[in-house]
Amino acid sequence: MEDTLSLKHWGTPPKNGIGTVGKCVAVHCGWGRVLFGQTFDKPELLAGRLMEEETGERDLAIYVRDPHVILSMAPQTLFMDPSHSFRLNLRELPATARVADSSMIIFRPAVAEDEAAVNRIYTSRGMVSLKPGYLGELDHRQCVTVLVAESVQDGEILGVVMGIDHTIAFDDPEEGSSLWALAVDSQAAVPAVGIGLVTALADHFRAAGRAFMDLSVMHDNAEAIKLYEKMGFERVPVYTVKKKNPINESLFIGPQRAENLNIYAKIIVDEARRRGIHVDIEDAAAGLFTLTLGGRSIACRESLSELTSAVAMSRCDDKALTHRLLAKADLKMPGQVSLRSRDDVRAFLEKYGRIVIKPARGEQGQGVFVDLCSEDEAITAFDEVRDQVDHVIGEEFVNGRDLRIIVIGDEVAAAAVRRPPRITGDGQHSIQELIQRLSRRRAAATGGESRIPIDDETRRCLQAQGHGMNSILGDGVVLEVRKTANLHCGGTIHDVTDDLHPALRDAALAARQVLGIPVVGFDFMVPRVDGPDYRIIEANERPGLANHEPQPTAQKFVDFLFPETRHELVKNPASG
């Protein structure tokens, strides 16, 4: 280790560092600079460079020599990153096994046209996005490689990884390389995207003749560490120093309070605390808290605040009442009727051909049966819902895209298309196994909020497509496993705010005024988000503000509650 430039972090540099130490190399990666500590001969130079970090970026210094000395030069500004470093020996690495089926994913170099998709993934993961035009400049940054994982089925970008070639960057005598900014779309239905990206980058550097590939991972990310060790990475003594900023605040302020808030409450509480608003948690399990600033206090249950009156809440809580009020205001609504008997069900089905049966009250897609076409399944659904609730409604099934529009005050804060959960077959695992695997990934990506229930509705959806739980889905075959697109039932959500047609914005704002509610989420069905046609399905008085990245929904909610704290938002103020 004493002869290894990158690992000897004390005393005199080894002899093989002659010609490297003193170059003071920094490589810009689009989200900030990577400063190679082994190329700096004076600690004050490295500390000074870190202090030059641009606002909204995330710089770091790695392979730092004498990190305690660096920190002593700006103890209030610099901190030691609590990450472990791991190294993969590329020259001893055996031929890699196929980890992500090529029939599902293509791993390729990123191009300029991928930038929006890459930044969407980074933002959704709380990471700093690439500066505009960065991917288009890669031809001039030959030491940086950016790879993306592209879905064969629909061309969507599922993940991204970045690598730095140390030999090109500073003529590294060790011929090393490093991996940075790995991120996978939390809603990707295809497994092993992250492993595939790591393997693809390792193969790239091995083909270039590099000796090793290093990466850093947070010290408490046991799952990732276990995975990297399984891939052949070994931990190495490397230290990283960063400048304190709002982006990495969670890394230097100490452990967060164990409040056990769900993601819908936590996103609001975190934003309030960032603004100096006092938070009193009344009941974490229920998402109840009170925000106080000066002499003003507002009680909330997630995004439902006391600014919403009981009358306004009742207008949303009863779906039949919501329908009547919005239809009376000449907003476009699907056909709807109260179902009191099986004869009512038969008559309604005969009128529309395809129907939805659901409780008049309820949320998160519970007890909702969608696209019922036969009398038997409609009667079965009616009986099941009636056993649970007193008021059952039938609704005309509207084909199209499931669109959620969040309105805060007089502004459309976000719009997103919700898609039902889909699995991709591999020719080996049963449909039930694939559902369980996808459900685990969805739960991990949403703090446990999104899971695919294996229930009668899921079985009905599969049966309608000629499959059962034990069926083996063909290699690369994509199957929708539920009709509903609710996040809580495994659905995914995709931002379309910038594509929203003005007529849809106007309809959402008009509906908010009719209901007299300050914050609301509307479920629309639309043929296309950039067209004027729509049907409003229902309103949610307590819409989830999480998972609408890159739209700053929590920030806008706190702006609405405490307008005096409104400020220009720091881009992607999350740890990374």
Secondary structure, 3-state, 301-320: ECCEECCCCHHHHHHHHCHH
The total of other beta-carbon atoms located within 10 Å of residue 24's CB is 16
pLDDT at residue 573 in the model: 39
| Neighbour-count burial of 36, counting CB atoms closer than 10 A to its CB (0-12 exposed, 13-18 middle, 19+ buried) | buried
Are 240 and 61 spatial neighbours (Cβ–Cβ below 8 Å)? yes
Domain ranges of the chain: 87-231, 259-332+398-420+483-566, 335-397, 421-482
Are 540 and 511 spatial neighbours (Cβ–Cβ below 8 Å)? no
- CA distances 124 to 159, 418, 479, 507, Å, are 12, 15, 25, 28
**Structure token pair of residue 139:** 């031809």
Give the count of alpha carbons within 13 A of 139, CB side only. Answer: 4
CATH classification code of 87-231: 3.40.630.30
| CATH number, domain 259-332+398-420+483-566, options 3.90.170.10, 3.30.470.20, 3.40.50.720, 3.40.980.10 | 3.30.470.20
pLDDT at residue 220 in the model: 85
DSSP string, 396-435: E---SEEEEEEEETTEEEEEEEEE--EEE--SSSBHHHHH
pTM: 0.74
How many angstroms separate the most distant Cα atoms in the chain?
A: 90
Distance CA 260, CA 339 (A): 40
Q: Using 50 as the pLDDT threshold, list the residues of the chain that sit under it.
A: 97-101, 568-576
Long-range CB pairs of 451-457, under 8 A, 24+ apart, other chains included: 451/488, 451/489, 451/490, 452/421, 452/481, 452/482, 452/489, 452/490, 453/489, 453/490, 456/384, 457/368, 457/369, 457/482, 457/483, 457/484
3-class DSSP assignment, residue 89 = strand
Distance CA 464, CA 449 (A): 27
Distance CA 23, CA 415 (A): 48
Distance CA 559, CA 233 (A): 45
Report the Cα 199 to chain-centroid distance in Å.
23
Q: Which residues pair with 401 in a beta bridge?
A: 526
Distance CA 58, CA 464 (A): 50
pLDDT at residue 190 in the model: 82
Fold of 335-397: Dna Ligase; domain 1 (3.30.1490)
Give, to the nearest 10 degrees, the angle between helix 310-317 and helix 319-328: 100
Order of all β-strands in the sheet with 26-28: 26-28, 33-36, 60-62, 240-243, 78-80
| Amino acid sitting at position 447 | G
pLDDT at residue 364 in the model: 62
- CA distances 79 to 83, 270, 526, Å, are 12, 22, 50
Distance CA 125, CA 116 (A): 14
